[in-house]
Structure 1
Amino acid sequence: MLSSCNSSKSANQIHTVQGDIKVSELGLTLSHEHTMSNYGKDISEASNYDSVQLFNQVIPYVKQLKALGVNSIFDCTTAYFGRRIDYLKKISEETGVQIITNTGFYGAANDRYIPEFAYKASAQAIADIWIDEFKNGIEGSQIKPGFIKLGFDDGKSPSAIDTKLFEAGLLTHLSTGLTLAVHTGENLEAMLLQTQLLKKHNIHPSAWIWTHAYKLKDDATLIDLATQGAWISLDGFKTPNTTEYVNRIKLFKEKKLLHKVLVSHDGNGFPSGGAIRPFQAILEDLVPALLQNGFTQDDVDQLLFRNPEEAFRIRIK
């Protein structure tokens, strides 16, 4: 457990790939993007990139994001799925955008990015790996994770391994205070299991981000979970779904739950070496549409500044 002194200090700080900052320094934040990933490639190749091509593509693009006002990005590419903290650090240094990396294993995508040892290891043994990254740094570096990234397979009952990884995430949270961002989508069985396990471990729902919640069209369920304190991540924004997003965000505002919504793109700066899957449309399209449809600048600041700051604040909940 965090001591009360360390807990107070952690609650006011967040780990970036360039070191600790105050959470109040996050600024305008994209809460779910991929600076790079090798989705689709074998786990043995997931961390191998053409670094020259990557930097030539990603650095200019992230500089464009910085010019648009983006100050921080939460990078959701996990270990064994293409996480490269050395590359993230260089991109952050070159662009001035603060990048926050993660600990955890990605349980979605039919479990193709889960390391073999995790199937035999206990939840506590897996949690110990993630806790060590938080306390001592990732892969022998000084870089520490700012959140826990996990996932459940789409359209399936939760598997034993995905469930064990989530329990490991809960144990990690109880030791570190890191928030869990969990790929859940429209898998209601996975959502129900997660809420049950949160309750079993006496962890408040505010420690959990329902990632890809936009895929579920049942707004009543999203509103119910937000009312309980969970974070609802509408992280698949693209220009064509502007009207849908404005209407859904408006519903949360009407229910006085705007403070529980995160918005992002699930973009990718270097998807398996392909063209950028962009993540600037929120600033170019969604924000203007919100302001034209009854939202105030303070509402926009709530979504892009204050909500990420609160969602990822490091404290046991």
Structure 2
Amino acid sequence: MKSKIAYGGFLILSTLFFNISHAQNDSIATVKGFIHAKSLGVSLTHEHIISNFGKRADSTSYYNESRLMEQVVPYLKGLKEMGIHSIFDCTTAYFGRRIDLLEKISNASGVHIITNTGFYGGANDRYIPKFAYRLSPAELAEIWTKEFFDGIEGTSIHPGFIKLAFDSGVPSEIDQKLVEAGILTHLKTGLTLAIHTGENIQAAHLTLKLLNEKGVSPNAWIWVHANKVTDDTILLEMAEKGTWISLDGVKSDNVEAYVLRLLKFKEHDVLHKVLLSHDGNGFPAGGAIRKFDAIPLHLIPALKSRGFNKSEIDQLLIDNPRKAFLPSIKK
């Protein structure tokens, strides 16, 4: 998808060709290259293949790689046998993103892995690089846009979405700046904004305000960890406005609660704005797997038993992820 043109002894990157080809092919970037969005199949939209969340910020890029591969690859192969085709990896730069390892894992497991650009503003901002504080939103957006067009860290691997985060409480200045930069990046790339918002209603309203100010549709925004909100009223309202609602905490012991919640979204005719995942982790700071198999093992059978048909289940796990993440500037 990258076109390099030799001219006058110089190698020129044709981002115009890249962007046109990208749009024409309805493609999305995986760590192994671009695929047609319809090839995503059943997708988990918020997992961590690996991460070092919790470790010191200066050590998040280091893993025991042999043990990691021994643990993660067989697990992902098992997920693929259960029907999972694609996983959106939400580990950002500076808290454990390693695109080289993700590429190896994808090659070995056969699962499509989609990585991200952006910085993580949660965890009391401990994983935000210091230089981000002195840069403007436009300068930050330039860094992330460059990853989209030119590849991450000098590779041919491109991000498939933008990952950002808010802490709890009143949104901090840096968290707001990162979201502003993310919106500018969306306007240049069409990448979707997956923003860790959780139960922070104030942050959700701020995000909607910032999108409106830039003329961007709520359809460009995923409310990550929306399952932590206890009152579904605001989630239903946001879904009706176009926001993607990410219910990404599915576990084997909370399936019934998710079924009841999904029934509510179905009754309000906004099932088409819901994303499902586990927020699992294949190698959490070198520890045991935090499982992400409850959807195929438990939730899908439970939904079938409560009257959800194949079309509705496919909408949740195939159609919605494809529509949510397909790059498109949403004005």
Q: Quick check: 1:165 aligned with 2:172? A: no
1:82 to 65, 87, 96: 96
State percent identity of aligned pairs: 57
Contact map agreement 1:2 1:175 (CA 8 A) in 2: no
Aligned-partner Cα distance in 1 for 2:119–2:23: 27
1:217 to 215, 230, 237: 230
Aligned-partner Cα distance in 2 for 1:36–1:131: 24
User: What is the aligned partner in structure 2 of residue 234 from structure 1?
Assistant: 247
User: What is the aligned partner in structure 1 of residue 105 from structure 2?
Assistant: 91
User: What is the aligned partner in structure 1 of residue 11 from structure 2?
Assistant: none
User: What is the aligned partner in structure 2 of residue 51 from structure 1?
Assistant: 65
Shift of residue 88, structure 1, vs aligned partner:
0.2
Q: 1:10 to 1:76 in 2, by over 3 A?
A: farther
Contact map agreement 2:133 2:174 (CA 8 A) in 1: yes
Contact map agreement 1:235 1:263 (CA 8 A) in 2: yes
Q: How does 1:249-268 map to 2 (within 5 A)?
A: 249-268=262-281
Aligned-partner Cα distance in 1 for 2:175–2:103: 29
Q: What amino acid sits opposite 1:281 in the alignment?
A: A
Contact map agreement 1:29 1:70 (CA 8 A) in 2: yes
CA deviation profile, 1:113-138 (whole Å, cap 9, x unmatched):
00000001111111100000000000
CA deviation profile, 1:125-159 (whole Å, cap 9, x unmatched):
111000000000000000000000000002x1000
Which blocks of at least 5 consecutive residues in structure 1 are unaligned?
A: none
Shift of residue 82, structure 1, vs aligned partner:
0.2
Q: What amino acid sits opposite 1:252 in the alignment?
A: F
SS of the residue 1:283 aligns to? helix
Shift of residue 6, structure 1, vs aligned partner:
1.8
Aligned-partner Cα distance in 2 for 1:287–1:2: 42
User: What is the aligned partner in structure 1 of residue 137 from structure 2?
Assistant: 123
Aligned-partner Cα distance in 1 for 2:147–2:254: 37
Q: What amino acid sits opposite 2:217 in the alignment?
A: H
Q: How does 1:1-317 map to 2 (within 5 A)?
A: 6=20, 9=23, 12-154=26-168, 156-317=169-330
Aligned-partner Cα distance in 2 for 1:125–1:10: 28
Shift of residue 239, structure 1, vs aligned partner:
1.1
Shift of residue 314, structure 1, vs aligned partner:
0.4
Ranked by relative contact order (alpha carbons within 8 Å, sequence separation 6 or more), the top structure is 1
Aligned-partner Cα distance in 1 for 2:266–2:21: 31
CA deviation profile, 1:85-121 (whole Å, cap 9, x unmatched):
0000000000100000000000001001000000011
Q: What amino acid sits opposite 2:228 in the alignment?
A: K
Q: What amino acid sits opposite 1:186 in the alignment?
A: E
Q: 1:91 to 1:158 in 2, by over 3 A?
A: same
Shift of residue 235, structure 1, vs aligned partner:
0.2
Shift of residue 8, structure 1, vs aligned partner:
7.0
SS of the residue 2:215 aligns to? coil
SS of the residue 2:254 aligns to? helix
Q: What amino acid sits opposite 1:205 in the alignment?
A: P
User: What is the aligned partner in structure 1 of residue 5 from structure 2?
Assistant: none
Q: TM-score, normalised by structure 1?
A: 0.97
SS of the residue 1:20 aligns to? strand
Aligned-partner Cα distance in 1 for 2:229–2:280: 19
Contact map agreement 1:10 1:315 (CA 8 A) in 2: no
Aligned-partner Cα distance in 2 for 1:188–1:66: 35
Shift of residue 10, structure 1, vs aligned partner:
5.8
Shift of residue 261, structure 1, vs aligned partner:
0.2
Rg: which structure is higher? 2
Aligned-partner Cα distance in 2 for 1:240–1:4: 45
Shift of residue 7, structure 1, vs aligned partner:
7.8
User: What is the aligned partner in structure 1 of residue 6 from structure 2?
Assistant: none
Contact map agreement 2:244 2:275 (CA 8 A) in 1: yes
Q: 1:128 to 1:84 in 2, by over 3 A?
A: same
Q: What amino acid sits opposite 1:188 in the alignment?
A: I
Give the number of aligned pairs: 316
